[in-house]
Structure formats: C-alpha cells, structure tokens
Amino acid sequence: MSAYTNWKERTTARLAREIGVLAEIIVDDVVFELGLGDAVMTTPRQVMAFLTHLQRELPETIDREGIIREIANELLSILHS
C-alpha cells in the first residue's frame, strides 16, 4: 500500500466513523482543493495544511477539534515512520 493511499484511507476511515459516506467526499474535495492528487505528504506543513482545510469542511455537529487532533497524531506518526 502506498503512503498516499495509507494516509488518505486512514483519514477517510476515521471520519467515516463519525459522518459515514460523506467522509470520502470531504477528503477527496480537500485533496483536490490543495492539489495533492496522488502526492505523498512529506512535510508537517503539508499535513497541517490538509488538516486545516479538512477541519473547515467538517460538519459543525461533530467534535471537529477532537477528530482533527486524532487524525493529526496519526498522520504525523505515518510521516515520521
């Protein structure tokens, strides 16, 4: 599994627990908006830009801060592995 698929799938899976199928749409929109395409995130700056955009797109009815914090920890651990 590529690093791209890994971080994208992990993010989508985590969000899907909260918002269902909408998670994949939101993640794909943010990836497209940032022009990541099939890119592999290689710097903390890329991860933080992704998470900032992602947080803005999430519904207000969920714990956005908590979810973003969890995803940030996971993505940064992938980045450093």
- State the Cα–Cα distance between residues 75 and 35, nearest whole angstrom: 18
> Cβ–Cβ contacts within 10 Å for residue 51, how many?
19
Look-up: residue for tokens 């801060």? 65
Say if residue 60 is exposed, middle or buried (CB neighbours under 10 Å; 0-12, 13-18, 19+).
exposed
Look-up: residue for tokens 């973003």? 68
- Please tell me the pTM assigned to this model: 0.82
Mean pLDDT in consecutive groups of 10 residues from the start of the chain, 81 residues: 68 93 94 80 84 94 93 84 69
Q: Looking at residue 47, what is its pLDDT?
A: 86
